[in-house]
Amino acid sequence: MTTWAKGFVANSFYSGLTATVFSTEFFFHTMGGCEGLVDTAVKTADTGYMSRRLIKALEDLSVQYDYTVHNASGGVVQFLYGDDGMDPAKMEGKDGIPLNLERLYMKIRATCPANAHENLSPSEALKKVYERFKKPDISLDGANKFKNSLRDFFEGVTDSLKKTRKFLDLDENNVEKNDPSFLEKIAANVSGISLKQLEVFLDTCIDRYHLKRIEAGAPIGVIGAQSIGEPGTQMTLKTFHFAGVASMSILYVGWLSL
């Protein structure tokens, strides 16, 4: 048997279907279009029903004032929503980090300029950060990941300052504040940070962190079910852009509903 007899269509409507005696391309092209229409109609109904079942199963889940997740019977489903108590829709940074620390730090440095005699040494800056971590407004449930990211960010800032001072042959731990030299001013402009900048940055980070916490009473069950059902409606066709990866072709409604 030839490829034409098995339904191979070499052309399209754009390039022009072959009009031979048998008109095989017209016939098999119509079969493919009919299959696509039926497939879309049936799977749209399937995904709609799947969304309804998910929403009915999860609609009673909500966040309480202590950030625990309860169902309608009062049972605890999760002791801390998302293991960090944060609202995913308000996240700024990558990998679930609440804030884009790099962008915020650059903004603080631009809006709060500092003179060379106001800059802190790397050890002084880290000491101020650790002291700020001990205050109760940041000692919250789920705040450890945020504090770790903030600490790692400032360790990178102080390392950059150390490298700058070392390159300029300056003492890495002592900053001349009373009578700063020309090199001290260069180091301050490149990667220095003042006490005011540090305080404003930390206070802004903590204030924004509190604003990004999940609100009590949030219907997270319905939101979670909708977050699964809405992409499911887009899986009615097997047309995904995976650059020819054959193993990804199984991602359609039948796979999702298993």
- The answer to which of 42-51, 127-136, 248-257 has the lowest mean pLDDT is 248-257
Task: Give 90's DSSP letter.
Answer: G
pLDDT tens digits, 219-248? 999 999 988 888 877 776 555 444 445 555
Task: Determine the Cα angle at 111 with ends 107 and 116, to 5°.
Answer: 105
pTM: 0.65
Tokens in use for 6? 């098995």
B/e letters for 166-185, b = 16+ CB within 10 Å, e = fewer, are eeeebeeeebeeeebeebbe
What type of residue sits at position 26?
F
- In the predicted structure, residue 194 carries a pLDDT above the cut 70: yes
pLDDT tens digits, 91-114? 886 777 788 888 888 888 888 876
Q: What is the pLDDT of residue 243?
A: 46
Q: What is the pLDDT of residue 222?
A: 92
- The answer to which of 37-51, 70-84, 171-185, 240-254 has the lowest mean pLDDT is 240-254
